[in-house]
Structure 1
Amino acid sequence: MPKTTIANTRADIWRFRLISALRTTLACTIVGCTSLYSPEPLRQYLEFPAFSYVTTILLVSDATLGDTLRGCWHVLIATLQVMILSLLSLHVKGPEYFDNRVAALAVAVCSFVVALPESTHLMTKRIAFGQLVIVYVSTVIHGAQRGVVMHPIHAASSTALGAIASVLAMLFPYPRLAYYEARQFYRIYTENVAERLDFTLEAITASDNSSALGFSTQVKSLSIVGAKLLQNIRSNLDGMQWERPQTRFCNRRSIDLEEKLQDLEIPIRGMDIALSSCTSFPISVIDEKLKGTLLNCRGKFSPKLDQKARCFAPFDATTAERKKEIFNINLTIAYKDLQTSFFLYCVQILLDDLPLAKKTEHMVQRTQKTRGIKEFVMSFMPSKHNLMFAFKCSLSLGLAVLFGLIYNKENGYWSGLTIAISFVTGRQPTFSVANARGQGTAMGSIYGVMCCFIFQRIGDLRFLSLLPWVVFSSFLRHSRMYGQAGGISAVIGALLILGRKHYGPPTEFAVARITEATIGLICFISVEILSQPSRAPTLAKSQLSKSLRTLQDCIGSIPTTIPSQRDMPSSSSQALREGQQRLKARVRRLEEFIVESKLEPSFWFLPFHSGCYTKMLESLSNMVDLLIFVAYSMEQVTRLSQKDGVCCVDFQDRVKENIELFKNRVGITLKCLEEIIRMKSLRKLENDLRTKNVPCDIESGEYANAEAYITLGGNDEVDGITGSFLQLLEDIANKTHFNKDEEMLKDQLLLHYSCMGFCMSRLMRETLKIESEVKELVIWENGSIEVNFKEIYCKIITLCS
Structure 2
Amino acid sequence: MILSLLSLHVKGPEYFDNRVAALAVAVCSFMVALPESTHLMTKRIAFGQLVIVYVSTVIHGAQRGVVMHPIPVASSTALGAIASVLAMLLPYPRLAYYETRQFYRLYTENAAERLNCTLEAITASDNSTALGFSNQAKSLSIVGAKLRRRIRSNLDGMQWERPQTRFCNPRSIDLEEKLQDLETPIRGMDIALSSCTSFPVSVIDEKLRGVLLNCRGKFSQKLDQKARCFAPFDAKTTAESKKEIFNRNLTIADKDLPTSFFLYCVQLLLDDLLLAKKTEHIVEKTQKTRMIREFVTSFMPSKHNLVFAFKCSLSLGLAMLFGLTYNKENGYWSGLTIAISFVTGRQPTFSAANARGQGTAMGSIYGVICCFIFKRFGDLRFLSLLPWVVFSSFLRHSRMYGQAGGISAVIGALLILGRKHYGPPTEFAVARIAEATIGLICFILVEILSQPSRAPTLAKSELSKSLRTLQDCVGSIPTTIPSQRDIPSSSSQALREGQHRLKARVCRLEEFTAEAKLEPNFWFRPFHSGCYTKMLESLSTMVDLLIFVAYSMEQVTRLSQKDGVCRVDFQDRVKDNIELFKNRIGIRLKCLEAIIRMKSIRKLVNDLKIKNLPCDVESGEYANAEAYTTLSGNDEVDGITGSFLQLLEELANKTQFNKDEEMLKDQLLLHYSCMGFCINRLMRETLKIESEVKELVIWENGSIEVNFKEIYCKISTLCSR
TM-score (norm 1): 0.88
Provide closer, same or farther for how the CA distance between residues 103 and 726 of structure 1 changes in structure 2, counting only shifts above 3 A: same
Q: Which residue of 1 aligns with 2:22?
A: 104
Q: Which residue of 1 aligns with 2:611?
A: 692
Q: Which residue of 1 aligns with 2:259?
A: 340
Q: Distance in 2 between matches of 1:186 and 1:370?
A: 30
| Structure 2 counterpart SS, 1:298 | helix
Q: Distance in 2 between matches of 1:199 and 1:702?
A: 57
Q: Which residue of 2 aligns with 1:139?
A: 57
Q: Which residue of 1 aligns with 2:514?
A: 595
Matched, 1:366 2:285: yes
Q: Which residue of 2 aligns with 1:297?
A: 215
1:708, distance to aligned residue in structure 2 (A): 3.6
Q: Distance in 2 between matches of 1:389 and 1:240?
A: 27
Q: Distance in 1 between matches of 2:168 and 2:186?
A: 25
Q: Which residue of 2 aligns with 1:541?
A: 460
| Structure 1 counterpart SS, 2:619 | coil
Provide closer, same or farther for how the CA distance between residues 278 and 234 of structure 1 changes in structure 2, counting only shifts above 3 A: same
Q: Distance in 2 between matches of 1:334 and 1:476?
A: 51
Q: Which residue of 1 aligns with 2:429?
A: 510
Q: Which residue of 2 aligns with 1:283?
A: 201
1:698, distance to aligned residue in structure 2 (A): 8.3
Matched, 1:567 2:489: no
**Which amino acid in 1 is paired with 2:113?**
E
Query: How big is each residue's C-alpha offset from its partner over 1:84-121, in whole Å with a ceiling of 9 and x where there is no partner?
Result: 21111111111111100000000001111111111111
Give runs of aligned pairs for residues 741-760 of structure 1, distance below 5 A.
Answer: 741-760=660-679
Q: Which residue of 2 aligns with 1:439?
A: 358
Query: How big is each residue's C-alpha offset from its partner over 1:201-232, in whole Å with a ceiling of 9 and x where there is no partner?
Result: 11111111111111111111111111111112
Number of equivalent positions: 719
Q: Distance in 2 between matches of 1:88 and 1:256?
A: 42
Identify the range of structure 1 (375-384 vs 127-136) with the bigger mean alpha-carbon deviation. Answer: 375-384
Q: Distance in 2 between matches of 1:449 and 1:596?
A: 34
Q: Distance in 2 between matches of 1:781 and 1:111?
A: 42
**Root-mean-square deviation over aligned CA pairs:** 1.5
1:475, distance to aligned residue in structure 2 (A): 2.0
Please tell me whether the aligned partners of residues 681 and 781 of structure 1 are also in contact (alpha carbons under 8 angstroms).
Answer: yes
**Which amino acid in 2 is paired with 1:742?**
E
Dislocated runs of 4+, deviation >6 Å = 247-250
| Structure 2 counterpart SS, 1:300 | helix
Q: Distance in 1 between matches of 2:27 and 2:152?
A: 36
| Structure 1 counterpart SS, 2:217 | coil
Provide closer, same or farther for how the CA distance between residues 199 and 253 of structure 1 changes in structure 2, counting only shifts above 3 A: closer
Provide closer, same or farther for how the CA distance between residues 463 and 788 of structure 1 changes in structure 2, counting only shifts above 3 A: same
Q: Which residue of 2 aligns with 1:267?
A: 185
Q: Distance in 1 between matches of 2:38 and 2:164?
A: 24
Matched, 1:254 2:184: no
| Structure 2 counterpart SS, 1:180 | helix
Please tell me whether the aligned partners of residues 499 and 546 of structure 2 are also in contact (alpha carbons under 8 angstroms).
Answer: yes
Q: Which residue of 1 aligns with 2:70?
A: 152
Q: Distance in 2 between matches of 1:464 and 1:210?
A: 53
**Which amino acid in 2 is paired with 1:750?**
L
Q: Which residue of 1 aligns with 2:556?
A: 637
Give runs of aligned pairs for residues 489-504 of structure 1, distance below 5 A.
Answer: 489-504=408-423
Q: Distance in 2 between matches of 1:729 and 1:792?
A: 39
| Structure 2 counterpart SS, 1:223 | helix
Q: Which residue of 1 aligns with 2:579?
A: 660
Please tell me whether the aligned partners of residues 696 and 703 of structure 1 are also in contact (alpha carbons under 8 angstroms).
Answer: no
1:376, distance to aligned residue in structure 2 (A): 2.7
Q: Which residue of 2 aligns with 1:184?
A: 102
Q: Which residue of 1 aligns with 2:155?
A: 237
Query: How big is each residue's C-alpha offset from its partner over 1:657-690, in whole Å with a ceiling of 9 and x where there is no partner?
Result: 1111111110110010000000011111111111
Please tell me whether the aligned partners of residues 250 and 670 of structure 2 are also in contact (alpha carbons under 8 angstroms).
Answer: yes
Identify the range of structure 1 (478-487 vs 371-380) with the bigger mean alpha-carbon deviation. Answer: 371-380
Give runs of aligned pairs for residues 366-385 of structure 1, distance below 5 A.
Answer: 366-385=285-304
Provide closer, same or farther for how the CA distance between residues 253 and 123 of structure 1 changes in structure 2, counting only shifts above 3 A: closer
Q: Distance in 1 between matches of 2:376 and 2:174?
A: 60
1:250, distance to aligned residue in structure 2 (A): 9.2
Q: Distance in 2 between matches of 1:699 and 1:521?
A: 56
Q: Which residue of 2 aligns with 1:173?
A: 91
Provide closer, same or farther for how the CA distance between residues 572 and 704 of structure 1 changes in structure 2, counting only shifts above 3 A: closer
Q: Distance in 2 between matches of 1:706 and 1:334?
A: 40
Q: Distance in 2 between matches of 1:247 and 1:347?
A: 33
Query: How big is each residue's C-alpha offset from its partner over 1:333-389, in whole Å with a ceiling of 9 and x where there is no partner?
Result: 100111111000000001111111112223312322331232233222211111111
Query: How big is each residue's C-alpha offset from its partner over 1:142-187, in whole Å with a ceiling of 9 and x where there is no partner?
Result: 0011111111111111111100111122222321122222112211
Provide closer, same or farther for how the CA distance between residues 536 and 312 of structure 1 changes in structure 2, counting only shifts above 3 A: same
Provide closer, same or farther for how the CA distance between residues 556 and 153 of structure 1 changes in structure 2, counting only shifts above 3 A: same
Please tell me whether the aligned partners of residues 594 and 610 of structure 1 are also in contact (alpha carbons under 8 angstroms).
Answer: yes
Q: Distance in 1 between matches of 2:697 and 2:268?
A: 41
1:569, distance to aligned residue in structure 2 (A): 5.7
**Which amino acid in 1 is paired with 2:266?**
V
| Structure 1 counterpart SS, 2:429 | helix
Matched, 1:417 2:321: no
Q: Distance in 1 between matches of 2:620 and 2:704?
A: 20
1:247, distance to aligned residue in structure 2 (A): 6.5
TM-score (norm 2): 0.98
1:246, distance to aligned residue in structure 2 (A): 4.8
Q: Distance in 1 between matches of 2:373 and 2:237?
A: 68
Provide closer, same or farther for how the CA distance between residues 249 and 445 of structure 1 changes in structure 2, counting only shifts above 3 A: farther
Provide closer, same or farther for how the CA distance between residues 615 and 528 of structure 1 changes in structure 2, counting only shifts above 3 A: same
**Which amino acid in 1 is paired with 2:639?**
G
Percent identity of paired positions between Structure 1 and Structure 2: 89
Q: Distance in 1 between matches of 2:173 and 2:344?
A: 31
Q: Which residue of 1 aligns with 2:647?
A: 728
Provide closer, same or farther for how the CA distance between residues 97 and 248 of structure 1 changes in structure 2, counting only shifts above 3 A: closer
Query: How big is each residue's C-alpha offset from its partner over 1:473-528, in whole Å with a ceiling of 9 and x where there is no partner?
Result: 12211111111100000010010010110111101100000000000000000111
Matched, 1:321 2:240: yes
Instruction: Decide which of 680, 688, 704 is 1:785's aligned counterpart.
Output: 704
Identify the range of structure 1 (431-440 vs 206-215) with the bigger mean alpha-carbon deviation. Answer: 206-215
Query: How big is each residue's C-alpha offset from its partner over 1:312-351, in whole Å with a ceiling of 9 and x where there is no partner?
Result: 1441533112111111110011001111110000000011
**Which amino acid in 2 is paired with 1:216?**
S
Q: Distance in 2 between matches of 1:313 and 1:758?
A: 29
Q: Distance in 2 between matches of 1:628 and 1:696?
A: 42
Please tell me whether the aligned partners of residues 201 and 295 of structure 1 are also in contact (alpha carbons under 8 angstroms).
Answer: yes
| Structure 2 counterpart SS, 1:297 | helix
**Which amino acid in 2 is paired with 1:195?**
E
Q: Distance in 2 between matches of 1:173 and 1:716?
A: 64
Q: Distance in 2 between matches of 1:459 and 1:254?
A: 52
1:704, distance to aligned residue in structure 2 (A): 2.9
Q: Which residue of 1 aligns with 2:543?
A: 624
Q: Distance in 1 between matches of 2:626 and 2:618?
A: 16
**Which amino acid in 1 is paired with 2:568?**
V
Matched, 1:130 2:48: yes
Provide closer, same or farther for how the CA distance between residues 152 and 344 of structure 1 changes in structure 2, counting only shifts above 3 A: same
Q: Distance in 2 between matches of 1:697 and 1:469?
A: 66
Q: Which residue of 2 aligns with 1:39?
A: none
Q: Distance in 1 between matches of 2:565 and 2:571?
A: 12
Query: How big is each residue's C-alpha offset from its partner over 1:524-543, in whole Å with a ceiling of 9 and x where there is no partner?
Result: 00111111111000000000
Q: Distance in 2 between matches of 1:735 and 1:297?
A: 31
Q: Which residue of 2 aligns with 1:426?
A: 345
Q: Which residue of 2 aligns with 1:90?
A: 8
Q: Distance in 2 between matches of 1:129 and 1:318?
A: 57
Matched, 1:218 2:130: no
Please tell me whether the aligned partners of residues 165 and 172 of structure 2 are also in contact (alpha carbons under 8 angstroms).
Answer: no
Q: Which residue of 2 aligns with 1:26?
A: none
Identify the range of structure 1 (310-319 vs 693-702) with the bigger mean alpha-carbon deviation. Answer: 693-702
Q: Distance in 2 between matches of 1:255 and 1:168?
A: 26
Matched, 1:608 2:608: no
Provide closer, same or farther for how the CA distance between residues 250 and 719 of structure 1 changes in structure 2, counting only shifts above 3 A: farther
Provide closer, same or farther for how the CA distance between residues 221 and 158 of structure 1 changes in structure 2, counting only shifts above 3 A: same
